[in-house]
Amino acid sequence: MTRICALLLACCAQFANATTASDATADSHELHTTVDRHVASQLGGQRGNGLLYEIVDTQVWDVPDPGSGRHYQVFVALPASYEKEPSRRYPVLYVTDADYAFPLVKQIARRLNGHGPAIEDFILVGLSYSVGDHGVPSRRRDYTPTPNGPGADATKGVHGEGQTYLEYLKHVAIPFVADKYRTDEAQRLFLGHSYGGLLGAQALLTDPRMFAGYVLGSPSFWYDNKVMWSFEQRYAKANKDLSAKVYLYVGEYEDMKPGDTRYATRYNMVTDARYFEKTLMSRRYPSLQLRLDVLNDEDHLSVAPRGFTHGLKYLLPASTGNKP
């Protein structure tokens, strides 16, 4: 029961609006269809006739959370070699904010290997927002560690269910993917930006073995008066090692600089990222690999594509060919 193609524009609409009854009926029909004869492919092109644009060679699965009762989906893109090498297992990268990050990371990975192997082939998994929710309230709820969000009230939505969402990933979504695809669970990786980066930091400091590697993009360490520092302190008191490979990026304009409109107006995210790096390195964890890049000429909204690119190179360098 496979949906062959992820609908890029449909995803945006689905996560921005409540699912209608007709949508639900159509979704149910597609889930029970083995092959859609009109799907997009690299050889056959798009469906045409004004139909929605599709992402080639992707699959979408419904993976609800029985604990919270919320409905989520996972988007999956397999490497070109997957069918040709049936005994091979692959690193698997989970990305938050999937309606944005999933198609972007998929194409960045393809381009990086355009002139030969620069990064390893990997299975890409996009983590959707809760179906029926707008993206903003879904990520505010699922990607934050405490209920004390900025201006938290009824009009701003619920915050602070990051731990609930991480439990869903650990016990439901990750086992689903591992059972269905040939993943190398020793190379299970995470990528998140902004609140997604904050969620990754929470996983790193509460259950670091959940992922072997992390791309933490412009993490919102300012959240709840920098509550993540207390997570770090608790971890350091209880542990002598932190076994993970971490790539941390932030744009140079993500600090405040009065009088210069290129810079941030509310938070010093470069300063916070540097503090996080300095603090973790001061712990002298034997197994921790950590790199911070402050990417020039980038702000919070522009930095992600470059950060994703460098993160892939850092976590998944090819064993042969060009090195980052």
Quick one: what percent of the chain has pLDDT higher than 90? 77
Alpha-carbon distance of 265 to 256, in angstroms, equals 6
**Residue 36 — pLDDT band, cuts 50, 70, 90?**
very low
Mean pLDDT of the chain: 87
Q: What is the separation of C-alpha 99 from the centre of its chain, rounded to a whole number of angstroms?
A: 10
**Beta strands, E only, 71-193:** 73-77, 90-95, 123-127, 183-193
Q: Yes or no: say if 75 and 107 are a contact pair by the CB < 8 Å rule.
A: no
Domains of the chain: 60-315 (3.40.50.1820)
The Cα–Cα gap between 279 and 226 comes to 14
Phi and psi (nearest 5°) for 92? -130, 130
Which ranges of the chain does DSSP label H, i.e. alpha helix? 8-16, 21-31, 98-112, 135-142, 162-168, 174-180, 195-206, 223-226, 228-238, 269-282, 304-315
pLDDT band at 157 (very low <50, low <70, confident <90, very high): confident
Query: Given this model, what pLDDT does residue 57 score?
Result: 86
- Element of type H or E holding 7: strand 6-7
pTM of the predicted protein model:
0.86
Whole-number Å distance between alpha carbons of 244 and 89? 20
Identify the residue whose tokens are 């008191």.
237
pLDDT confidence of residue 168: 98
Per-residue pLDDT at 12 exceeds 80: no
Q: pLDDT (tens digit, 9 = 90+) per residue, 129-147? A: 999 999 999 999 999 999 9
d(CA 76, CA 105): 12
pLDDT (tens digit, 9 = 90+) per residue, 165-207?
A: 999 999 999 999 999 999 999 999 999 999 999 999 999 999 9
Residue 204 or 156, more confident: 204
What lies within 8 Å, CB to CB, of 118 at 6+ separation is 112, 313, 317, 318, 321, 322, 323, 324
SS3 45: strand
Neighbours of 74 (CB within 10 A): 24
Q: How far apart are CA 198 and CA 103, in angstroms?
A: 21
Q: What percentage of residues in the chain have a pLDDT greater than 70? A: 84
